[in-house]
Amino acid sequence: MRTTVGIIGAGPAGLLLARLLHNAGIDSVVLESRDRAYVEQRQRAGILEQGTVDVLRAAGAGGRMDREGLRHDGIELRFARERHRVDFPALTGGSSVMVYAQTEVCKDLIALQIEEGGPLLFEAEALAVEGAESERPRVRFRREGREGREDVLECDYVVGCDGFWGVARRAIPAEHSRVFERTYPFGWLGILADVPPSHDELVYARHDRGFALLSMRSPNVSRLYLQVPEGMDAGSWADEEIWDELERRLETADGWSLERGAITSKSVTPMRSHVHEPMRYGRLFLAGDAAHIVPPTGAKGLNLAVGDVVTFARALVHLEETGSAERLDAYSETCLRRVWQAERFSYDMTTLLHRAPDATPFEDRVQLARLRRIATSRAAGTDLAEGYTGFPLD
């Protein structure tokens, strides 16, 4: 099998890249180890930055998002039982975010790829990337139901959108790699609940007992999170215990109340920051979680992946149109500028809102002072709003 761009992974990054290349007249093949049902049900991110929304619309993949997604023009910060709203459009010149689950983005892009695009192979496990430093890199893969027989996808370029545990990053020799990372001594206990959200925008709460987040997936489904100790088992919390703790941490002085409902899923997400440099080796390019991980506090993971594949697609189109590989050669440097800004923002949001297990009274007071600065200073509020709604894709 032969193509111009071999894409490993049919998450939102890989699928969007295939769509962008198709629209530019560049052929690709997408390899995905899981089946279609799994990809369309995989619960991940739900906040789309302004730039991501604009890219999906321009790619012809924004119709259902615009009909069913929830535009949000701000977030609410809670601390000391007070409520403070950060108004995104007022502070950024009109930018907002969209609440639209990653599962729905994938469904939309899969439907478009099957109807209009190139091959999208489910249950096709990438085994290795070979010859990345040559002009003809290859992806060895194995498809379900072929009695273990291996196939080879020959490419001009390979883009690894296969996540932290995928094969793409492992194809880069250790002597060419640098890793920067930080782990946090807490995680997020997340729940999905069949109950309308108790607030019409996301609520980020700092409390002496730990962080809490009120989010949503739709007008009838709430997504909520609690800071918990690292490694905690989600099953160790009874449903009513979760609701009681959420109510404590989200409490305000004005009588706001939390609506409860049936919890349909529970999980614990570890918190870490990770960056692999460079994001390119020869004709192998890393995108999304294959290259970088952010704690979910800043809602940056999916959006960073979108920025990566947009950068790659624009660079390849530039090469096709002008013969210049300048932008392709600058892929890693270009992406990493944005990646490190997102890492910085996510780190700032995490340390702003979570209480460390060994926090001192001094650190508690500094944390509250930082929050009050954002609530009362237009300059500080603007910095948060600009970071949350997204850094430029260029």
- Phi and psi at 326, nearest 5°, equal -55, -45
pLDDT category at 149 given cuts 50, 70, 90 is confident
The yes-or-no answer on residue 185 being catalytic is no
**Could you tell me if 140 and 12 lie in one domain?**
yes
Can you give the pLDDT at residue 392? 87
Whether 279 and 378 map to the same domain: the answer is no
281 and 259, same structural domain?
Answer: no
Q: What is the pLDDT of residue 224?
A: 96
Which amino acid, 325? Answer: A
Residues 109 and 202 in one domain: no
pLDDT at 384 over 90: yes
From the candidates 72, 207, 276, 292, which is the catalytic residue?
A: 72
Asked about 107 being catalytic, the answer comes back as no
Which string of b and e fits 253-276 if b means at least 16 CB within 10 Å? eeeeebebbebeebebeebebbbb
Task: Specify if 105 maps to a domain.
Answer: yes
What is the pLDDT, as a whole number, of residue 44?
A: 72
Longest alpha-carbon distance in the chain: 65
- 338-348 residue pLDDT tens: 999 999 999 99
- 173 and 277 belong to one structural domain: yes
Query: In this structure, is residue 85 part of a structural domain?
Result: no
Amino acid letter, residue 81:
R
pLDDT (average), residues 102-110: 96
277-322: pLDDT as tens digits: 999 999 999 999 999 999 999 999 999 999 999 999 999 999 999 9
Catalytic-labelled residue, pool 197, 300, 331, 354: 300
Q: Report how far Cα 343 is from the mean position of its chain's Cα atoms.
A: 12
Same domain, 278 and 335: yes
Q: What is the pTM of this model?
A: 0.95
Q: Helix, strand, coil shares of the chain as percentages rounded to 5? A: 40, 30, 30
**Claim to verify: residue 223 and residue 342 sit in the same structural domain:** no
CA distances in angstroms from 165 to 37, 59, 89, 217, listed in the order given: 21, 28, 37, 27
Specify whether the CB–CB gap between 90 and 99 falls below 8 A: no
Check whether residue 281 and residue 321 sit in a common domain: yes
Q: What is the mean pLDDT of residues 121-132?
A: 96
Contact 97, 48 (CB under 8 A): yes
Q: How many Å apart are CA 69 and CA 62, to the nearest integer?
A: 10
Is 204 among the catalytic positions? Answer: yes
Q: What is the CATH number of the domain that holds 315?
A: 3.50.50.60
82 falls within a domain: no
Q: What is the mean pLDDT of residues 357-384?
A: 97
Cβ neighbours around 171 below 10 Å, total: 21
The single residue of 100, 281, 331, 388 carrying the catalytic annotation is 388
Boundaries of domain holding 45: 5-70+97-180+272-348
Looking at the structure of the chain, the number of domains it has is 2
pLDDT at 92 over 80: yes
Active site residue 292: no
pLDDT in tens, 25-56: 999 999 999 999 999 987 777 899 999 999 99
| Residue range 155-169, pLDDT digits in tens | 999 999 999 999 999
% of the chain surpassing 90 pLDDT: 95
Number of residues assigned to the chain: 394
Catalytic residue among 100, 281, 296, 331: 296
pLDDT of residue 42: 79
Residues 189-241: pLDDT tens digits? 999 999 999 999 999 999 999 999 999 988 999 999 999 999 899 999 999 99
Give pLDDT, residue 97.
Answer: 97
Query: For residue 393, what pLDDT is reported?
Result: 84
Exactly one of 100, 157, 184, 204 is catalytic; name it: 204
Share the mean pLDDT of the chain.
96
Known active-site residue 318? no
Residues 193 and 324 both lie in one domain: no
Regarding whether 30 and 164 lie in a shared domain, the answer is yes
Confirm whether 363 is domain-assigned: yes
What's the angle, vertex CA 274, arms to CA 355 and CA 361, rounded to 5? Answer: 15
